[in-house]
Structure 1
């Protein structure tokens, strides 16, 4: 009888140990499968050259330099268009402007009298933009896609499409009410410039609810007005050719400081290892030396000073850091790359690829772009340029209807990154081949 009792006791202990082991294993698996927090960091009006890690001689960006060293960093990244509203819409949807139809910043209809004033200052601007917003609300966005994984999504900073909820965000700073000055960010534009507390509160809310979060951090930085703290301005006044340039350089560092504050807060909350950081700039900027405006080779232009941006992906322990100076990437890749990291299916309408898939990035032959009028109506009336970027060539094709006096341009963007030497006349076959790629891209819709 004693032997039988001993056998029963031994079996019971074995069962309990096995059960305990299985429970522990299940907990470990659940922890491993917990989706990461996702933070999109978006610079606003900054040239691809204007970072320490990209080689600028004077601008200090220690926090973004550190992020670059810890990320899969692509130095030849591009946005599909060099204007903020359509660029941001492409980042959040993963599709070209011609697919989400946010072509420019302001919509002007035939017969609208601008009276020599910017369209955004006139009373009919808000009414004209309503159909753009209504169409956008029907589109799939990353916050909407993330809901199936239980994410809470937060909007801070610039946001052109009315209320934050129009993009699928659960919470946000931008009300988008025209009666209260809503156009491109309203209250959201205070983040970074007037502290980070609202953003921190969103993070705390997600942690309290034990939910993964998606954070859209798109501060109005280094965007004008260029009014940096005096302590930063003084650092650059003796280094810059003019005060206008010094102010812009100081704004770049101010933006970098806020990025450091954001990343430090996530570290303080113990979330760094469970957070995916993605960085991009919405469009470029070259500061004029003698006034506060930008040089026309940058913003709204088809040149790399308007389109090119470093793009970074950091997930500590999950993404191997690497500085990639050869692969071509696009902001359109951000959504499909995030979905792939989460093990989610890629919707057919997306125009980008998973850039962390070595086969996909190796097989990519080109990335594309398209630029429309700031004050737009239709694709046909507003299209200014189409571009294709390859290794090593970039082709710029002006629209024959809307830019009839401009010629096709070809540059070797790896040997000639500042696009000084137009090769179109001496390499007609390259021009023809790249023109066919553009036409194929436009005719092959998802």
Structure 2
């Protein structure tokens, strides 16, 4: 590569990682003569050469000191086989706190984001998880881990992903240490892998909620491996559902559909709550799929919504629902249905569903409540004759929740998009007040 071409490729790579810096096309010639690049060009140069050569290149290989941040893709360390040993290797890589702090991940797109779903569907079952060496792990310890994980889930509901990621990651490190160094039979081994999978799912959502999409994918793909090792198809399908939600938010409508359908295909259990979760993920994906006709989108969306509400009416299985499925209640089902109707342009139906969700929710301030108010505000703004009064009323209620109560970059992003759509009305005093408030929240 010429220095000019190398610089252009580096600038494109910097853009992938949402870096604002750019390198001059002649600067790499100085590096070839012995000058040391400043950050972030050492790490980005190493990553660019790694991609070109198909093997890992570090700044040290180039005679340069380490950079402050490592740049990598969301597949890093997750290329091991879908076996017990491969899963433990992947968990060890992801649970390393220093690597999590230092690394900046670029999110996967296209077929790269859907390929783990295919691998999960065809992976051979893992029949042996017992470990015969190490310190014995009592069953009561795993009971406590289940309880702690449940508390973390519910804390995330209240405070949002921002403050939660570090706490969840530290718990994941502890569980990973038990898996690697403890002694347990097959039954406890499956339970420990399931705990690790759910912590990875929760860490992924905390990262996603904070706007760190590549990191979220890293956690979720590792979680898919842990769920497979645990033999827990419901948990694996739920993780794919979250990946579908992320793909949908990132504009990957077709990929979201593939992920949501793979999740439904991989789960054949009896829990109506889980079935409803997966059906509503499919509805969200269908509602955002711009690769098909509007009629097909609407039909697929309505069909999946009906499946979800029918599943919620099913009696609970004898074994009960998975503990993590608690959040799928009528309020959440109505909220997600409202979002789907909004996306296919049926504003009256969307309002009916979102109002039902707000009426049924049991907390005044929560991440989901904030999102429901933003979506309800959007229905009033997007209708044929915009209703600014109701739009602003619900937007302010969302802002109230996001000010001092809930830390969610994802919800602030929805509010920012609403504010952008309100720009044509900014000469109205009350609209300008909301725009100023939204701007202050985005730039504290």
Q: Establish whether TM, by shorter chain, passes 0.5.
A: no
Bigger fraction of residues in strand: 1
Q: Which has the higher contact order (CA 8 A, sep 6+)?
A: 1
Q: Which has the larger radius of gyration?
A: 1
Bigger fraction of residues in helix: 2
TM class by smaller structure: under 0.3
